Amino acid sequence: MPHSLSELAARTGATVAGDGDVVITHVATLESAGPGAIAFLANIKYRAQLAATRASAVIVAPEVAGDTAVPKLLTAAPYSTYAKVASILYPAEPIEPGTHPSAAVDPHASVASSAVIGAHAVVGAKASVGERARIGAGCVVGDGASIGDDTVLYPNVTVYDRCVIGPRCVVHSGVVIGADGFGLAEEKGRWLKIPQIGRVVIGADVEIGANTTIDRGAIDDTVIEDDVKLDNQIQIGHNCRIGAHTAIAGCTGIAGSTRIGRNCRIGGAAMISGHIDICDGAMISGAAQIHDSIKVPGMYTSAFPIMPYKEWRRQAMALRRLADFEDRVRQLEKNRSGARLVAEPPADEDKQ
């Protein structure tokens, strides 16, 4: 739906510079934008594209406003303002409540009259589905599970028995919530399965990317707090707790009983060992390996930067020799200390 630049400014809290009556119909990049489009500059390395853009308007910080003559939305946070503008220009499609004839809803389930239950979805006994919730085709909501108001499950999501998803969450296709954690005890060379009796409890405004898996707790619950954002293909082990407003990029693996604080940022393919704590505000680089608790906020990394293979091999071989080098240095220091004791006369002899 078209909006004037002034309307967009009023709804996002930005300031108009230039013609506020220009009509905006869609968003685009600085490079590809044409008439009717609004673009944005959030990364300074694209600043050169700002002067050449053919967009009808741009979203920029005040310090770069002079780089282009087109109408602008001025804001200290161009990227988040762009997110708001895009939501206004591309609103969610209205839904028609109801249950598809092919869906299987247990007579003891509670489904709000405003909810949508898609084709071949299953809603188990004593499960609850909140107001305006959308359960996509092929989803399974297990016995006693709870889906909050305005939450969307895209097709083929599985929510195991008794798990809880709060309001306004978005769960993408292929997600599995509440599968058994990896709980095993060894006896006489064989594995005994430990019953996983906890749940997964997910707060409000959480988004979970495609094919991510979150294991249920062994005894206590696995907990995902409010406003957590999880990318695709993340594994979260049993009894983990992820603090509010934390964002985790794709292919990260988090072993069981790990506690991650609030407002953390974790890069893709990070590997996090179990039974450790990561404090509020920690930032972890992609592909990092975290084996110990992090107690002080800041940026942490453990991976080599990219380099030519021969150089990487030389560096790796040097690392393998570090332990031997350390032993040799210690022995040299010990020998040197012993030689000094022999060479130095006693104090009374020295006075003579």
Sheet bearing 57-60, strands edge to edge: 15-17, 72-74, 57-60, 37-40, 26-27
Flag whether pLDDT at 134 surpasses 80. Answer: yes
Flag whether pLDDT at 342 surpasses 70. Answer: no
pLDDT for 344 equals 60
pLDDT in tens, 150-207: 999 999 999 999 999 999 999 999 999 999 999 999 999 999 999 999 999 999 999 9
Say what the pTM is.
0.89
Cβ–Cβ contacts within 10 Å for residue 29, how many? 13
* Angle (CA) 174 111 162, round 5°: 55
Catalytic residue of the set 120, 172, 238, 245? 238
Q: Are 225 and 241 in contact (CB under 8 A)?
A: yes
Q: Are 174 and 227 in contact (CB under 8 A)?
A: no
pLDDT in tens, 274-286: 999 999 999 999 9
Lowest-confidence pick of 72-86, 287-301, 314-328:
314-328
Residue 238 annotated to the active site: yes
Cβ neighbors of 240 (< 8 A, separation 6 or more) are: 222, 223, 254, 256, 257, 258, 259, 260
> Quick one: DSSP state of residue 111?
E
Q: Are 130 and 111 in contact (CB under 8 A)?
A: no
